[in-house]
Structure 1
Amino acid sequence: MIKAQPGYAPAEVEALTRQWVETMVVGLNLCPFAAPVVRDNTLRYAVTPAQEDEALVAAFLAEVELMLKADEHEISTTLFIVPVGLEDFYDYLDHLRLFEDLLEQAGLDGVLQLASFHPAYRFAGVPEDDLSHWSNRSPWPAFHIIREAEMSRALTHYANPEQIPERNIKLLRELGREGLIARFPPFADYC
């Protein structure tokens, strides 16, 4: 994992995350719905300095509120990036569950959903060295806040969306570890 130091620069975290989104997510078409929001500049990159549980919850809820108040043509979706404090994947998963619970408690089921990204992402029951994990590996721990209505509209224009994960796994395995690192060199630091 890329190690964020106490004096990390949020602009650098955002820049590297943008590079990852453009190179890997859009460049490899891992998420066919990402290109339009990147092109339209409606993907918000929210880098939080929060590290402790209470502060992380407050920062997450503030991002949710900001997104809900914004028109989707201004903020379509948000990557809530936590460069310090959730380096451990299992701590990250605990926060993912907490954030999902908070959305449910707020009555936002069916309104917002979360996708998860982490430098040490691992799918349960999959060998540690399998390249399928790289579909959800990012430079920093991040929670992708997605508007469900917008996702539903996007899905109506995409044939067989259930095949996206299989297609991604096949592509990642074909590229191989070295090919992925060549495409996005920072992967060498944490994968």
Structure 2
Amino acid sequence: MSYLNNVEQWLDNVVIGLNLCPFAAKPRRKGQIRIAIYETDSLETLLENIYQELIRLDDTLVCDLDTSLIVCPNVLQDFDEYNQFLDMVDALIRQCDRDGIYQVASFHPDYYFYGTQPDDAENLTNRAPYPIFHLIREDSMEKVLAHYPDPEGIPERNIEKMNALSEKDIRRLFPFLFSKP
């Protein structure tokens, strides 16, 4: 299966299928989510790719492109390195004067939240087949949040969903966690 197919399967079955992000289904249906696969093994090149994605978002109407998933299957396999690079992505957004315009959400095969154990089910909410940086338009997020009841409760509801999954469900939804070398 290709990188793109793996990401689409995760997006459709986990993010949208489990309703982890209640705002993802509509832009997915409308073809407004760009999945950009960057197979580089250079962090410098990846940062340049992310910059280009910011420019693409700037230059494209939201009705055509609402958000970008930047997938980097060949770098940042170590979660701590990924997290450090995430700081660079945030700095890039600030340096480009796009703070308040875009934000980045993070996903990684070994994602774990501060204060959790790596095997805690709640970490599954941000586990993806590859390291992914999700560039989100803040205006779009504000619009959907204004009409969504109890957006503050989303993380807690997602944790409950992850804790309710059976081992069989986890293996089906997150096959990439069990196929590591």
With the shorter chain as reference, the TM-score category is over 0.9
Counterpart selection for 1:14 from 1, 4, 26: 4
| SS, match of residue 72 in structure 1 | coil
Output the CA distance in 2 between the equivalents of 1:38 and 1:18: 10
The separation in 1 between residues aligned to 2:32 and 2:67, in whole angstroms, is: 7
- Mapped to 2, the partners of 1:66 and 1:115 lie a distance apart of 18
Q: 2:100 aligns with which of 110, 114, 124?
A: 110
Residues in 2 aligned to 1:114 and 1:74: alpha-carbon distance in whole angstroms: 19
- Relative to the length of structure 1, the TM-score reads 0.90
SS at match of 1:41: coil
> Is the partner of 1:124 in helix, strand or coil?
coil
Kindly report structure 1 stretches of 4+ aligned residues shifted beyond 4 Å. none
Structure 1 distance, partners of 2:21, 2:42, is 31
The partner residue of 2:50 within 60, 78, 88 is 60
Write the letter of the residue equivalent to 2:66. S
For residue 30 of structure 1, the aligned residue among 20, 33, 52 is 20
User: SS state of the match for residue 94, structure 2?
Assistant: helix
Task: State how far apart, in whole Å, the 1-side matches of 2:61 and 2:133 are.
Answer: 20
C-alpha distance in structure 1 between counterparts of 2:74 and 2:136, whole Å: 22
Q: Tell me whether 171-180 or 87-96 shows the greater mean CA deviation.
A: 171-180
Residue identity (%): 36
Instruction: Tell me the number of residue pairs that the alignment of Structure 1 and Structure 2 aligns.
Output: 180
Aligned-residue CA RMSD (Å): 1.3
Residues 113, 148 of structure 1: 8 Å contact kept: yes
Distance (whole Å) between structure 2 residues aligned to residue 128 and residue 61 of structure 1: 31
Q: Partner of 1:126 in structure 2?
A: 116
What residue in structure 1 maps to residue 132 of structure 2? 142
Maintained 8 Å contact 1:45/1:80: yes
Q: What is the CA-CA distance between 1:84 and the residue it aligns to?
A: 0.3
- Deviation digits for residues 91-126 of structure 1, max 9, x if unmatched? 111111001011011111110000000000010111
Structure 2 unaligned blocks of 5 or more: none
Greater relative CO, 1 or 2 (CA 8 Å, sep 6+): 1
Counterpart CA distance in 1 for 2:141 and 2:37 is: 23
Whole-Å Cα distance in 2 between the matches of residues 72 and 106 of structure 1? Answer: 19
Distance 2:168 2:135 in 1: 30
Determine the structure 1 residue equivalent to 2:153. Answer: 163
Distance in 1 (CA, whole Å) between partners of 2:140 and 2:18 is: 22
What residue ranges of structure 1 are gaps of 5+ in the alignment? 1-10
